Amino acid sequence: MAKQAQALDASRAMRETAAPWGVLAAIDLHGCERARLADPDTIRRFVPAVIDAIGMRPHGALALDRFGDGELEGWSAMQFIETSSITVHADEVLARCFVDIFSCRPFDPDLAAEVAVAHFCGTPSVRVLQR
């Protein structure tokens, strides 16, 4: 237990003195247009549009796949960017879309949310976490 307490103390000290390495923007959209969430081409257009809007560059190809069972089936996408990654999870059943962007380079999460709304509609909720 003493070693665990020491490790926790060291971790706290590091967090208090270290500058954030990056930003995670969790963009949740509710009330999206189901047809857009079900359309892989909408996601294929969204990812490069958001990358361009926030001033990033893609690294490699977009991974886009439909999987899951029953109500959990839907489209998910992952795109590496030169400063980290973007993920998209579309929920057609409840008309929701979840977009996570992590980058060690600053970007505007609200602008990313605007691009997401333009592609999927819905009402955004944006949470930002410094990491």
How much is the pTM? 0.85
Number of domains in the chain: 1
Tell me whether residue 116 is in a domain.
yes
The answer to the question of residue 10 being in a domain is no
Q: Is 12 inside a domain boundary?
A: no
Q: Which domain holds residue 117?
A: 21-130
Residue type, 112: A
Give how far the C-alpha of residue 106 lies from the chain's centroid of Cα atoms, to the nearest Å: 14
pLDDT of residue 1: 64
Confirm whether 95 is domain-assigned: yes
Q: Which of 88, 79, 75 is nearest to 58 (CA)?
A: 79
Q: What is the pLDDT of residue 84?
A: 96
At 115, list the tokens: 């691009």
Bridge pairing between strands 123-130 and 23-30: antiparallel
CB–CB of 119/45 below 8 Å? yes
> pLDDT tens-digit profile of 62-115?
999 999 888 889 999 999 999 999 999 999 999 999 999 999 999 999 999 999
CATH number for 110: 3.60.90.10
